[in-house]
């Protein structure tokens, strides 16, 4: 059997073992083998591997037994050995999520910043949130195996210092401060990457029904970012800047963007841009809540503004789809959830852009992970990078620098 | 030493061995070790590996020797064991190139079609060209290890039949006809892919001075196509359509494209589009030769048309660079060579599009491979896929289907 197929089969069996242990809480090898329909030998091989990686632990069933020789060994997921922390710092809030090695979300919470918040304050806020979460009985911070940090905006762990301009340098200093704070607090490897790219990885990994080896992800929120998964790998680019979909140019637009050029997607399809467009065209909506309410009523001015935004997003993603031929396109962020019109219009425009490649239109769907996407994607990148679980997840952050740091931290 | 570094060091030593054998025609292990500054043991390990892969062969130096024990073993490149054929069918001509396992271009020739030529005729023309090339003494077709075929236009070996529309189906039938003809003629594995994507791989592999792990390649010719190399791998996309840069939309353009939509890059920056623009604005140029001549004189109308084309290419590649963050952008095709203005304007526009990612502007250069790029890129994909040379080239066509076919053909 080719090794790829062998790995897939083993992975499927592992998943089934983990799923059963989640449902039943603890089982013997014999019970597991019977449930899955495997030989004891194969099951022992799989469980031995899971045990050696610390995903599964063994306890002795010492309940009274009559004439059955040695007591049975019970396998359980080892919650203490395999918990991972994901922390996503966006521009406005910090989100914390904890997952175990079985990809179970154990805890998740969010705290908004009192703006303007410097990185020291943000870290304090995040650590405070983590302390409060610790009250949940299933959480075991002493067993945290790694921390993944998501950062907003263009972020490059690889950018050579000599080429860094002041804003990038400030971002790097902030990232190092956060990394150091979490390394000190937990004494474990800390992985850092752009939070929206991590969310793309989360979306690609989270939907078990789809084979999302080739995926584009865009997040439409206060800002616009995105990520590409190509051939199963998260694209970071030569210097870590990949995924800045918000600053791709849109045909026919000339609005000044905060980035220094004109006509970026963000000037049309961010929350503020949509609100501004609504106001310009006569609909008095000034907040996301008002936008939601007006869209729910079917306010034609608001619907038109949302269609304009969707068309711009569709143009950009459509062009990118002509270039990269994805199987899936995932639309995340608050704007995706204001109205079905947004995703509908994106799908229609993408389909037009893809006329030249005929039969190869990607599936287009809303994100399933919502606000937790960045934190969960970070943990998924971490699970892949962890020496404990190396080879477990099929998707990975293609981020040599982050992996190097992990190794260094482990050394 | 980490295995990646170890591989790189061995590869460097291998390259040096092959380079020396090209320069000197045949050397003993002792001579090679001395030239490279390696121990005899290390050199023997490297040469043993090269010999086992059929790249290098051993002959006995039976010239008269005095009192020196057994005759010396001479290592040479084995031209018969390691020749590879690349055949690039464009819309207008077929190009044939032969390379050996040492990446040496042994022969290359081109034949134009008598239009319109069906696939049977094109194959006959290609095989005729190959027969004529066989007169070169260094060519050994009986030792051909594999054939790479480049096809024009969107081409997908993976597209499921049920989704194929008539044009794609005709293309597939043509591809199968060509594949079968070459399999019959040479009795070896045949790899098929889009010729422009293969040219991207060629450009990424051919320039030893650059670490082209992240590269965008565009070919500006009668049509416009391209390819992406991301993380050292050629991107084929979910269904093999990746790289259709000619059909990405350009801001402000509304010219009808042959693909069925409007405003594609091809309607502005292909040879015909530039000639049309020149004529519209008052310069009577109707052929590529006239365009070349007028540009050489500095005809301001022609220069303006070339700048417009360059700006459109720059917009598209710049947007794509914002999304994928390449280290290098390579501009190929006849248009790139008409005037320096084209690449200059592309570079200026790409730099503007990349304002939001500041310090991460890619190097932009003309293609070095010219018309042979597709054939050479195909051979490089083949070298990577070949069981004989597996692991030799660092770049690969990420094309599971092609590799599967190779394996099947070998079985």
pLDDT score, position A238:
85
Interchain CB contact of B318 with A (< 8 Å): yes
What pLDDT, on a 0 to 100 scale, did the predictor assign at position B385? Answer: 58
Q: Report residue B410's pLDDT band, with 50, 70 and 90 as the boundaries.
A: very low
Considering only alpha carbons, which residue of chain B is nearest residue A319?
B248
Highest mean pLDDT among A207-216, B100-109, B192-201, B230-239: B192-201
Alpha carbon of B278: minimum distance to chain A alpha carbons (Å): 24
- The tokens describing A342, both together, are 């947004």
What is the spatial distance between Cα A105 and Cα A102, in angstroms, rounded to a whole number?
A: 9
Portion 271-300 of A in contact with B at CB < 8 A: none
User: Quick check: A360 and B214 CB within 8 A?
Assistant: no
Which pLDDT belongs to residue A84?
A: 87
Chain B's closest residue to A233, CA to CA, is B231
**How high is the pLDDT of residue A366?**
95
| Domains of chain B, first to last | 3-77 (1.10.10.10), 83-199+399-410 (3.30.420.40), 212-367 (3.30.420.40)
Q: Which of the pair, A269 or B168, is modelled with greater confidence?
A: A269
B76 backbone dihedrals φ, ψ, rounded to 5°: -135, 160
Number of other CB atoms surrounding residue A70 within 10 Å: 7
Which residues of A352-409 form beta strands (DSSP E)? 363-366, 396-397
Query: Could you tell me how many CB contacts below 8 A there are between chain A and chain B?
Result: 173
DSSP for A264-333? BTHHHHSHHHHHHHHHHTT----SHHHHHHHHHHT-HHHHHHHHHHHHHHHHHHHHHHHHH--SEEEEES
Of residues B335 and B238, which shows the higher confidence score? Answer: B335
3-state secondary structure of A182: helix
Task: Please check the confidence at residue A109 and state whether its pLDDT lies above 50.
Answer: yes
Tell me if B238 and A352 make a contact (CB, 8 A cut-off).
no
Q: What is the pLDDT of residues B319-372, one digit of tens each?
A: 999 999 999 999 999 999 999 999 999 999 999 999 988 767 899 999 998 889
Q: Is B362 on the interface with A (CB under 8 A)?
A: yes
Which residue would you say has higher pLDDT here, A201 or A126? A126
8 A C-beta contact, residue B86 and residue B99 = yes
A65 three-state secondary structure: coil
Chain B residue numbers with beta carbons less than 8 Å from the beta carbon of A234 are: none
Cα distances (Å, whole numbers) of residue B251 to B214, B247, B278, B393 = 26, 12, 20, 39
pLDDT in tens, A377-389: 898 888 765 444 3
Q: How far apart are CA B78 and CA B52, in angstroms?
A: 12
Question: In this structure, what token pair is assigned to residue B175?
Answer: 């591809």
| More confident: A143 or B300 | B300
Mean pLDDT (chain A) is 82
Report the residue from B228, B236, B356 with minimal CB separation from A259.
B356
Instruction: Report the range of poorest mean pLDDT among A199-203, B146-150, B266-270, B324-328.
Output: A199-203
**B99 beta partners:** B84, B105
Task: Provide the percentage of residues in chain A whose pLDDT is more than 90.
Answer: 45
Q: Is the pLDDT of residue A267 over 60?
A: yes
Confidence band, pLDDT 50/70/90 cuts, at residue B408 = very low
Paired residues of B57 in beta bridges:
B76
- pLDDT for residue A404 is more than 50: no
Position B401 confidence tier, pLDDT thresholds 50, 70, 90:
very low
Most B CBs within 10 A among A160, A170, A358, A399, hence the mutation to make, goes to: A358
The pLDDT-based confidence of A302 (bands split at 50, 70, 90) is: very high
Contact with chain A for residue B410, Cβ under 8 A? no
- For tokens 């000190």, what's the residue? A184
Spatial CB neighbours of A60, under 8 Å, sequence gap ≥ 6? A71, A72, A73, A74
Q: Find the range with the poorest average confidence among A133-147, A204-218, B136-150, B311-325.
A: A204-218
Q: Give the residue from A159, A169, A212, A241 with the most B CB atoms within 10 Å of its CB, the best one to mutate.
A: A241
Q: Look at residue A141 and tell me whether its pLDDT is greater than 90.
A: no
Confidence category of residue B106, pLDDT binned at 50, 70, 90? confident
Nearest to B88 by CA among B6, B5, B192: B192
Distances (CA, A) of A121 to A86, A118, A150, A249, A390: 18, 5, 16, 35, 34
Residue B5 confidence (pLDDT): 58
Q: Which of A231, A252, A359 sits opposite B165 (nearest CB)?
A: A359
ipTM for the assembly:
0.75
Each residue of A149-194: pLDDT tens digit?
Answer: 998 876 765 554 445 566 667 777 888 899 999 999 998 889 888 8
The residue with greater pLDDT, A32 or B307, is B307
Nearest Cα of chain B lies from the Cα of A327 at a distance, in angstroms, of 5
Distance from CA of A240 to the nearest CA of B (A): 7
Selected residue with higher pLDDT from A14 and B205 = A14
> Is a pLDDT exceeding 80 seen at residue B249?
yes
In angstroms, the CA B276 to CA A43 distance is 70
| Cα–Cα distance for residue pair B267/B309, rounded to 1 Å | 9
Distance from B235 to chain A by nearest Cα, in Å?
Answer: 7
CB contact under 8 A, A316 and B316: no
Q: How confident is the model at residue B394 (pLDDT cuts 50, 70, 90)?
A: very low
- Residue A117's pLDDT band, with cuts at 50, 70 and 90, is confident
pLDDT tens digit string along A214-263? Answer: 899 999 999 999 999 887 778 888 888 899 999 999 988 889 999 999 99
The answer to whether the Cβ–Cβ distance between B356 and A244 falls below 8 Å is yes
User: What pLDDT does residue A193 have?
Assistant: 87
Q: How confident is the model at residue B18 (pLDDT cuts 50, 70, 90)?
A: confident
- Residue A167 is predicted with a pLDDT of 66
With beta carbons less than 8 A apart as the criterion, state whether B306 and B298 touch. no
- The secondary structure of residue B88, as a DSSP letter, is E
Q: Which pLDDT score is estimated for A175?
A: 85
User: Which among A48, A78, A100, A118 has a CA at the least distance from the CA of A382?
Assistant: A100
Lowest mean pLDDT among A64-73, A90-99, B12-21, B346-355: A64-73
- A240 contacts in chain B (CB < 8 Å): 325
Asked if B355 reaches chain A (Cβ–Cβ under 8 Å), the answer is: yes
Q: Across the interface, do A239 and B325 touch by the CB < 8 Å criterion?
A: yes
Predicted confidence band at B137 (pLDDT cuts at 50, 70, 90)? confident
């Amino acid at each position: 059997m080719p090794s790829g197929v062998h790995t897939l089969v083993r992975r499927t069996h592992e998943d089934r073992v983990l799923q059963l242990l989640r449902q039943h809480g603890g089982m013997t090898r014999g019970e597991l083998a019977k449930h899955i329909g495997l030989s004891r030998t194969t099951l022992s091989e799989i469980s031995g591997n899971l045990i050696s990686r610390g995903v599964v632990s063994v306890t002795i069933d010492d309940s009274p037994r009559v004439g059955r020789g040695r007591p049975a060994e019970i396998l359980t997921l080892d919650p203490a050995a395999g918990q991972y922390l994901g922390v996503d710092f966006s521009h406005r809030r910090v989100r914390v999520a904890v997952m175990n090695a079985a990809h179970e979300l154990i805890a998740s919470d969010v705290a908004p910043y009192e703006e303007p918040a410097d990185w020291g304050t943000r870290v304090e806020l995040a650590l405070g949130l983590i302390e409060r979460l610790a009250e949940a009985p299933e959480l075991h911070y002493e067993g945290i195996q790694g921390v993944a940090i998501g950062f907003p905006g263009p972020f490059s762990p690889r950018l050579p210092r000599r080429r860094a301009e002041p804003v990038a340098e400030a971002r790097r200093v902030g990232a190092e401060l956060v990394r150091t704070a979490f390394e000190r607090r937990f004494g474990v490897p800390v992985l850092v990457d752009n939070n929206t790219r991590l969310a793309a990885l989360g979306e690609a990994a989270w939907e078990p029904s789809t084979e999302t080896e080739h995926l584009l992800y865009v997040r439409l929120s206060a800002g616009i970012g995105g990520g590409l998964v190509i051939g199963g790998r998260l694209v970071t680019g030569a210097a870590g800047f990949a995924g800045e979909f918000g600053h791709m140019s849109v045909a026919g637009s000339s609005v000044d963007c905060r980035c220094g050029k004109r006509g970026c997607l963000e000037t049309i399809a961010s929350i503020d841009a949509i609100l501004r467009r609504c106001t310009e065209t006569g609909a008095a909506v000034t907040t996301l809540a008002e936008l939601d309410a007006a869209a729910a009523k079917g306010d034609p001015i608001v619907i038109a503004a949302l269609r304009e935004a969707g068309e711009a997003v569709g143009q950009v993603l459509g062009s990118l789809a002509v270039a990269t031929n994805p199987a899936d396109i995932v639309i995340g962020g608050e704007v995706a959830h204001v109205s079905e019109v947004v995703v509908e219009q994106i799908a229609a425009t993408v389909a037009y852009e893809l006329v030249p490649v005929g039969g190869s239109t990607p599936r287009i769907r809303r994100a399933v992970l919502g606000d937790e996407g960045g934190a969960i994607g970070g943990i998924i990148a971490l699970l892949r990078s962890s020496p404990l679980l190396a080879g477990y997840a099929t998707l990975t952050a293609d981020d040599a620098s982050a992996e190097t740091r992990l190794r260094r931290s482990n050394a």
